[in-house]
């Protein structure tokens, strides 16, 4: 007999489905609660607001760059910097491919974007987090002597992740599943080599 899911898990399931199919702007707490089979009051017992639910969905249900970067920063093992950057770029493409449709509707509603930005700030997170984590990893590699002493980790992180986002954005116009398949693997490897050529 399958175990019944807890209310917070059902809420995150419902939010993930709504965010994926209707976007953040239209995924109201009322609709999330309805999808989870609970009241809005029950939803607010577990989550402060929609932004907290969105952050939890991003961290728990979508590809995440953070754990990979934490692992690489602590100890890259036998992996070269090129292999590490390729893995980060590939994961970032997957992340942006899934978050772009979710967050895209925000930019059509400035008031909602402002509220969402304020909510993320209160939670101490935001879209800059992967860039900051990648910069920390690159500073660690600089300390290890694996990239140039005069390398700029912040600029390199912005270049790599910005290119990943642009790749997904452009691919979304021409392919139904942006970022998926062998094309993304090749792109990640070429991007990592190019960034490394500037800082290696």
The CATH number of domain 7-56 is 1.20.950.20: no
What pLDDT is recorded for position 182?
A: 54
| CA geometry: angle 124, 101, 122, nearest 5 deg | 15
- As annotated, the residues of the chain forming the CATH 1.10.357 domain(s) are 63-199
**DSSP secondary structure string for all residues of 177-195:** STT-SHHHHHHHHHHHHHH
Q: CA-CA distances (angstroms) from residue 118 to 23, 39, 50, 124?
A: 19, 25, 12, 10
Average pLDDT per block of 10 residues along the chain, 200 residues long: 80 87 81 92 90 80 79 91 96 87 73 74 78 95 96 97 93 63 85 95
Q: How many CB atoms lie within 10 A of CB 97?
A: 24
Taking the C-alpha atoms of residue 10 and residue 61, their distance in angstroms, rounded to an integer, is 12
Per-residue model confidence (pLDDT) at position 128:
83
What local confidence, expressed as pLDDT, does residue 173 receive? 78
For the entire predicted model, the pTM comes to 0.76
The domain 63-199 having CATH identifier 2.60.40: the answer here is no
- Cβ proximity of 100 and 172 under 8 Å: yes
């Amino acid at each position: 007999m399958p175990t019944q899911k807890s209310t917070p898990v059902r809420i995150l399931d419902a939010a993930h489905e709504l965010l994926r199919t209707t976007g953040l702007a239209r995924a109201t707490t009322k609709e999330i609660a309805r999808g989870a089979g609970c009241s809005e009051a029950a939803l607010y017992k577990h989550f402060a607001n929609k932004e907290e639910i969105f952050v939890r969905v991003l961290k728990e249900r979508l590809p995440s760059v953070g754990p990979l970067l934490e692992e690489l920063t602590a100890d890259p093992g036998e992996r070269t910097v090129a292999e590490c950057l390729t893995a980060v770029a590939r994961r970032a493409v997957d992340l942006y491919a899934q978050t772009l449709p979710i967050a895209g509707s925000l930019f059509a509603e400035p008031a909602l974007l402002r509220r969402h930005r304020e909510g993320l700030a209160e939670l101490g997170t935001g879209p800059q987090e992967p860039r900051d984590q990648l910069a920390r990893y690159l500073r660690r590699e600089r300390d290890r002597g694996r990239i140039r002493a005069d390398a700029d980790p912040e600029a390199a992180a912005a270049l790599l992740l910005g290119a990943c986002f642009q790749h997904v954005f452009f691919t979304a116009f021409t392919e139904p599943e942006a970022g998926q398949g062998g094309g993304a693997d090749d792109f990640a490897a070429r991007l990592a080599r190019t960034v490394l050529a500037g800082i290696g």
